[in-house]
Chains A and B, each alone.
Chain A
Amino acid sequence: MEPSLARYIWTHTKKQQLWILMIVVLSMIPYFMSFDLPKLIVNGPIQGGGFEQPGATQPFMRLHYNLPFIGEVQFFSGFQLDRKETLFALSVVFLLLVIINGLFKLYINTYKGRLGERMLRRIRFDLVDRVLRFPPVYFKRVKSAEVATMVKDEVEPLGGFIGDAFVQPVLLGGQALTAMLFIMVQNVWLGMIAAVIVGIQIVLIPRMRRRLIVLGRERQLTARALSGRVGEIVDGIGAVHVHDTSNYERADIAARLGLIFKIRFDLYQWKFMVKFLNNFLAQVTPFLFYMIGGYLVIQGRLDVGQLVAVIGAYKDLPGPMKELIDWDQARQDVQVKYQQVVEQFTAEGLIAPTIGALAIDDPAPMTNPLSAINLSMADDGGAMLLDRISLQVRPGETVALVSTTTGGAEALAEAFARLNRPDSGRVASGADDLLELPEAVTGRRMSYASSDVFLFQASLRDNLLYGLKHAPLTSVTYEGAAADQRRWNIDEARRSGNPELDIHSDWINYASAGATGPHDLFEAVRRVLDAVVLSRDILDLGLRSSADLTRHTELARRIVELRAALRTRLEHEGLSGLVAPFEPGAYNKEATIGQNLLFGAAAGPELADRALAANPYFASVLKQAGLDRTFYEMGMEIAEQAIELFADLPPDHQFFQQLAFMSAEEIPAYESLLQRLKNRPYEAVSENDRAMIITLSFNYIEPRHRFGLLSDELMSKIVAARNQFYENLPPELQNAVERYDPAKYIAAATVMDNVLFGRVGTNHPDAPDRIRSIVYDILDELGLYDELLDVGLDFNVGSGGRRLTGGQRQKLDVARALIKRPDFLILNRPLSALDQRMQDKVLRNVLEEARRDGHSPAIVWVVTNPAMAMMFDRVVVFDSGRLVEDGTHETLLAGNGIFKELLS
């Protein structure tokens, strides 16, 4: 990257900078005119200069010039105006100039701001573009949070500066010079005074600010290191807790913050010191003006109008001066920042832009063998991982790489995947150096999965299909406002040197997955998920999440059928007792009282959980039904029982998991509440306290808690209150709840709850498991299995995929490699988190799936267990970085080599 900021800015914005310069120069004309006007107004109409005779007039707007050779030329003789008229006319001109100056400023500022933002966009894109092209080794040294902070925060001030880079000195310098010149014209001596003070400012202040720049750089580096450390703590939070090092981290962060504080405080001290001095110098000048100028007026050597004009003009001098000095500091500061960032983003051996160039058309299959020729690889410490290995993998062949602990098979897989570069020798595809092939070939015709999985924070589906998103394959047609927006996007992207690729295009390469479009892609998805034995997990996720009804319409459409099928099935197997279904006119004993009252899923915060009892409309319904008092008494009873049972237990006691009514932290609050309310009549209890108590009763389930609080009469009252609640539901609550309706899908509830449409009884062991397997059966029978899988694929995997287990992440990574249908499939101990039985199962499935439909990719698999090698055409054994055996499973087994030793 360009090391000099000024040159970087000039290269990319010279046309704009020149344009804005021109505008700035143009804006000087009205600016200068507005200086002269106050003098004209004071000396002319106010003090009566030129209007000595009553009724005298002066020409206004007379245009006349002294041209060389021609002499005086008058273009317009002007209007003749008397004293008052002249005052008004000149004042109006003053107002006009104010407006024109303001408009110029507005235009210039907007233009500069836009220029700066475009450059900021360009710099940020350039930086990220470089990150995408860094050699693999670079990433072993940098912390991701530091890179992020550089791209986001450290270049931010550059955006503000770029617009001002050339304009500001010209504009402010011009203004200062104009003011200076004007003072000079009025009175040379006063001008000299101002010039001397300005000279002192120009020399002294930047000198004092040098220290500020040094401190600023330190601040930048310490802040960057801090964000790196914070990122590390977040990523390594598990290690922190496991080793009880949280206090060590606290100490480290406190020390860093202390240092940053010290630097920043130093910075403030200096900054305000410099400010003080600057202000002082600026204020000294008017003092001299008043004294010396006043003296001159008294002496009669200066007229009052001149002095007023000088002082007026001087008001405009310190402003531009100060800003000019600020600009100079910003320039140095930003230059330092820019250099710091550029240094960090300069790396040897950047990947050539052609390697990652966009290729819309799919490359031809890789039909040449993949080979390592005299390949040596070393780790960062210089230890040899591979020592002059030569190996050829022919297309279509399946190879197991078996390795002792120091074997180096993993390094070979990484070299094939181009994740590490050879120290000597090379990896090649046919005659081509593998490292010189564009990613459009290696990224589409080869795929790689390892035990070290990275997933993006997106849905399972997005992660699975990530490996197919090489290029925008469709051109989206936009209409109306969206089309304008798209045109604007392209235009702005061009101006900032960003690519015009459309993120909303369909990037998924269906052909590569063996599909023709979105409609039959799911077939491929299902097959790879089945192959890695992940479907069941995803189905479970699907059951537990709420479906997006805009996408999964089929589920909602056939919900009645599903529910009926479940009932029939349960009856058929004599398991009806497992589920208590929701029925609009009946009390559901297995559900809480709150659920029975609301009889719907809360779709907003108004009626959810604790808010329910406090909702005024809900409270009024209870009151009408005469239930408020009942629930209050019930709540008091529950509070008493709960406190009696739990008050002695420490707050972290595991029994609290059984207490659905309140959390351990709330026990003391309820204890004192109970004391307070015990003998108070219901009428005297405040609304708030009532809600606190009533809410307890809402979590009560009779068969589970067994306090004996529910009678038949109460149950029918609750059902009546439920109907009452929905009859007069106010409009603002219409969207806060979805009423349970046997014929309707409840969008706010999970798929499981929707199918079940009831509650699983608490007193049946293993009921949840049995019901789940029945639900799967039914979904399969009704052809909704795929739909549910699709719901599960919406699951967001969380940051780095951490919402999945290690095994699930690895399976997903293998599925992602598999769905691409590559010519060379490289798998580097891909399933290390699974037990051996599962690894064997997935291995068999993957080999079969990869060869489906007459496909015959070459498969290179670094196995975790030598026994797995049996499934492959060829077995290659590594020991101490050397290739020691190579042959079929039978021949190696027949020999007496390391392989046989490893197997035993």
Chain B
Amino acid sequence: MLLKDEVGMLQRVPLFAAIEPTKLKLLAFTSDRVSYSAGQILFRQGDEGDAAYVILSGRADILVDSDSGPIKVAELESNSIVGEIAILCNSSRTATVRAASPLEVLRIRKDHFLRLMREFPEMTIEILRVLADRLSHTTADLIDARSAK
């Protein structure tokens, strides 16, 4: 997969959808293309968050530790981003991500991501918008869950 295809993939990630293609290209160029085989771990719960990952192809599982071992809580597909919370909040990983099939990802390093946000306010605003959107969804979900009780 070439740089320009990656840009196309990134555009399909909602977080980056509204960002200029040239900026996305820079982001793609400065990120590492990493391949994992099925079963390999991208990062573990409790690790320090040093990068976000955009899934280019393949599937990955999100696992959370519990007393009875890891539980799968969600599945990631192409064009999804994972791990961005940890780099924005400076927190440790809240879950483990494991490749469920041969996986191609774009690894965006934390310092690069933050640097891009600082330099291109339009991108920051876009990210803010997506996050706010998510928050309002979560809030709505919470209200639904409370009223359903």
- Kindly state whether residue A731 has any CB partner on chain B within 8 Å: no
Report whether A655 and B115 are in contact in the complex, using a CB–CB cutoff of 8 Å: yes
CA distance A645 to B30 in the complex (A): 10
- Any B CB within 8 A of the CB of A66: no
A644 located at the interface, meaning its Cβ lies under 8 Å from any Cβ of chain B in the complex: yes
Query: A641 CA to B22 CA in the complex, in Å?
Result: 10
In contact, A706 and B115 (Cβ under 8 angstroms): no
Q: How many A-B residue pairs have CB under 8 A?
A: 46
Looking at B28, B29, B35, B111, which has the most chain A CB atoms within 10 Å of its CB?
A: B29
Map CB proximity to B onto A739-766 as digits: 1 under 8 Å, 0 otherwise: 0000000000000000000000011110
Q: Which of B2-10, B65-73, B141-149 lies on the face that meets chain A?
A: B2-10
Q: Name the one of B22, B28, B107, B112 contacting A644, with C-beta atoms under 8 angstroms.
A: B22
Question: Taking the complex as formed, is B38 at the interface, i.e. its CB lies under 8 A from any CB of chain A?
Answer: no
Task: Tell me if A703 counts as interface (CB < 8 A to partner B).
Answer: yes
B26 at the interface (CB under 8 A from A): yes
Asked whether, in the complex, the Cβ of B35 is within 8 Å of the Cβ of A706, the reply is no
- Interface bits A56-93 vs B (CB < 8 Å: 1, else 0): 00000000000000000000000000000000000000
The minimal Cβ–Cβ distance linking B42 to chain A, given in whole angstroms, is: 8
A645 touches B26 (CB 8 A): yes
Q: What are the residues of chain A within 8 A of B4 when measuring CB–CB? A: 708
Contact indicator B3/A763 (Cβ below 8 Å): no
Shortest beta-carbon distance, B55 to chain A, in Å? Answer: 14
> Is A654 located at the chain interface by the 8 A CB criterion?
yes
* Contact residues, A609-661 vs B (CB, 8 A): 641, 644-646, 649, 653-655, 658
Q: Count chain B residues whose beta carbon lies closer than 8 angstroms to a beta carbon of A.
A: 21
Q: Using Cβ atoms and an 8 Å threshold, which residues of chain A touch B119? A: 649
Residues on B with C-beta less than 8 A from A645 are 22, 25-26, 29
- CB pair B34–A658 under 8 Å, yes or no, is no
User: Assuming A644-B22, A655-B115, is B32 touching A708 (CB within 8 A)?
Assistant: no
> Is B74's CB within 8 Å of the partner chain A?
no
Complex: chain A residue closest to B43, CB-CB? A765
Which of A707, A764, A765 gathers most chain B CB within 10 Å? A765
Whether B3 pairs with A762 at a CB distance below 8 angstroms is no
Write out the residue numbers on chain A whose beta carbons fall within 8 Å of the beta carbon of B26. Answer: 645-646, 655
A275 interface residue per 8 A CB criterion: no
B59 at interface, CB cutoff 8 A: no
Q: Are B22 and A707 in contact (CB under 8 A)?
A: no
CA A649 to CA B30, docked complex, whole Å: 13
In the complex, residue of chain A having the shortest beta-carbon distance to the beta carbon of B41: A765
- Does B89 sit within 8 A of A, measured CB to CB? no
| A654-B111, A765-B107 known; A703+B3 contact, CB < 8 A | no
Q: How far is the CA of A262 from the CA of B119 in the complex (A)?
A: 52
What does the 1/0 interface line of A677-711 toward B look like (CB < 8 Å)?
00000000000000000000000000111111000
Does B44 interact with chain A (Cβ within 8 Å)? Answer: no
Q: How far is the CB of A708 from chain B (nearest CB, A)?
A: 4
- Complex Cα–Cα for A765 and B97 (A): 14
* Cβ-defined contact, A655 with B112, below 8 A: yes
Chain B, Cβ-Cβ closest to A657: B30
A762 touches B32 (CB 8 A): yes
- Chain B contacts of A763 at CB under 8 A? 32-35
Fill in one digit per residue for B33-52: 1 if any A CB lies within 8 Å of its CB, else 0: 11110000000000000000
1/0 contact trace for B86-119 toward A, CB 8 Å?
0000000000000000000001000110010001
A707 near B2 with CB under 8 A, answer yes
Query: Which of chain A's residues has its CB closest to B31's CB?
Result: A658
B33 A658 Cβ-Cβ under 8 A: no
* CB of A660 to closest CB in B, whole Å: 11
In the complex, chain B residues whose CB is within 8 Å of the CB of A641: 3
B1 neighbours in A (Cβ, 8 Å): 706
Residues of B within 8 A of A705 (CB): 3, 29
CA distance A706 to B112 in the complex (A): 19
Give A706 to B36 CA distance when docked, in angstroms: 18
Of A655, A762, A764, the most chain B CB neighbours within 10 A belong to A655
Minimal Cβ-Cβ distance residue in A for B22:
A644
Whether A708 and B3, one on each chain, are in contact in the complex, defined by CB atoms closer than 8 angstroms, is yes
CB of B38 to closest CB in A, whole Å? 12
Q: How far is the CA of A706 from the CA of B7 in the complex (A)?
A: 11
Cα–Cα, bound, A641→B112 (Å): 19
Chain A contacts for B30, CB-based, 8 A:
655, 658
Q: How far is the CB of A763 from chain B (nearest CB, A)?
A: 5
* Assembled-state Cα–Cα distance A751/B22 (Å): 41
Q: Which residues of chain B have C-beta atoms less than 8 A from A765's C-beta?
A: 34, 36, 107
Most chain B CB within 10 A, of A645, A646, A762, A764, is at A645
Report if A706-B6 is in contact (Cβ < 8 Å); known contacts: A655-B26, A765-B107. Answer: yes
Chain B residue nearest to A658 (CB atoms) is B30
How long is the Cα–Cα vector from A353 to B77 in the complex, in angstroms?
Answer: 81
Tell me if A658 and B29 are in contact (CB < 8 A): yes
- Partner of A706 from the list B3, B34, B107, B111 (CB cut-off 8 Å) is B3
CB B106 to nearest CB in A, in angstroms, measures 10
Rounded to whole angstroms, the CA-CA distance of A763 and B25 in the bound complex is: 18
Alpha-carbon gap, A668 to B86, bound state (A): 37
Given A645-B22, A655-B115 in contact, is the A707-B3 Cβ separation under 8 Å?
Answer: yes
- How far is A82 from B4 in the complex, measured between Cα atoms in Å? 108
Within the complex, the shortest CB–CB distance from A390 to chain B, in Å, comes to 53
Q: With A644-B22, A654-B111, A654-B112 in contact, do A708 and B34 touch (Cβ < 8 Å)?
A: no
Residues of B within 8 A of A764 (CB): 34-35
CA distance in complex: A658, B3 (Å): 14
Across the interface, name the chain B residue whose C-beta is closest to A655.
B30
* Nearest A residue (CB) for B104: A763
Considering the chains assembled together, what is the distance between the CA atoms of A654 and B30 in angstroms? 10
- Chain B residues whose CB sits within 8 angstroms of the CB of A654 once the complex forms: 111-112, 115
A644 vs B23: C-alpha distance in the bound complex, in angstroms? 10
State in angstroms the CA–CA spacing of A653 and B111 once bound together. 11
Contacts of B33 in A (CB 8 A): 703-704, 706, 762-763
B85 CB to closest chain A CB, in angstroms? 20
- Chain A residues contacting B6 (CB-CB under 8 Å) are 706
Q: Nearest Cβ in chain A — how far from B40, in angstroms?
A: 8
A762 to B106 Cα, complex, angstroms: 12
Q: How far is the CA of A705 from the CA of B31 in the complex (A)?
A: 10
CB distance from B118 to the nearest CB of A (A): 11
Residue interface bits A707-738, CB-to-B below 8 A is 1, else 0: 11000000000000000000000000000000
Bound form: Cα–Cα A451–B33 in Å: 44
Residues of chain A from 240 to 270 with CB closer than 8 A to chain B in the complex: none
Q: Output the least CB separation between B7 and chain A (Å).
A: 10
Q: State A385–B34 Cα separation when bound (angstroms).
A: 60
Q: Within the assembled complex, what's the spacing in Å between the Cα atoms of A641 and B28?
A: 13
Shortest distance from the beta carbon of A769 to any chain B beta carbon, whole Å:
14
Which residues in B have their C-beta under 8 angstroms from that of A706?
1-3, 6, 28-29, 33
* CB-defined contacts of A708 to chain B, threshold 8 Å: 2-4
Give chain B nearest CB distance to A44 CB in angstroms.
Answer: 98
In the assembled complex, which residues on chain A have CB atoms less than 8 Å from the CB atom of B22? 644-645
Q: How far is the CA of A649 from the CA of B107 in the complex (A)?
A: 21
Q: For residue B111, which residues in chain A have a CB less than 8 angstroms away from its CB?
A: 654
**Chain A residues positioned under 8 Å from B115 (CB to CB):** 653-655
Nearest CB of A to B69, in Å: 24
Q: What sequence of 0s and 1s flags, for each residue 155-199 of chain A, a beta carbon within 8 Å of any chain B beta carbon?
A: 000000000000000000000000000000000000000000000
CB distance from A749 to the nearest CB of B (A): 25
Distance of A764 from chain B, by nearest CB (Å): 7
Other than A654-B111, A763-B35, give 17 A-B pairs with Cβ distance below 8 A.
A641-B3, A644-B25, A645-B26, A645-B29, A654-B112, A658-B30, A704-B33, A705-B3, A706-B1, A706-B29, A707-B3, A708-B4, A762-B33, A763-B34, A764-B34, A764-B35, A765-B36
Q: Across chains A and B, which 8 residue pairs bring their CB atoms closest together, nearest first?
A: A708-B2, A706-B3, A658-B30, A763-B33, A763-B35, A645-B26, A655-B30, A706-B2
Measured CB to CB, the residues of A under 8 A from B are 641, 644-646, 649, 653-655, 658, 703-708, 762-765
**16 A–B contact pairs at CB < 8 A?**
A641-B3, A645-B26, A655-B30, A658-B29, A706-B1, A706-B2, A706-B29, A706-B33, A707-B2, A708-B3, A708-B4, A763-B32, A763-B33, A764-B34, A764-B35, A765-B34
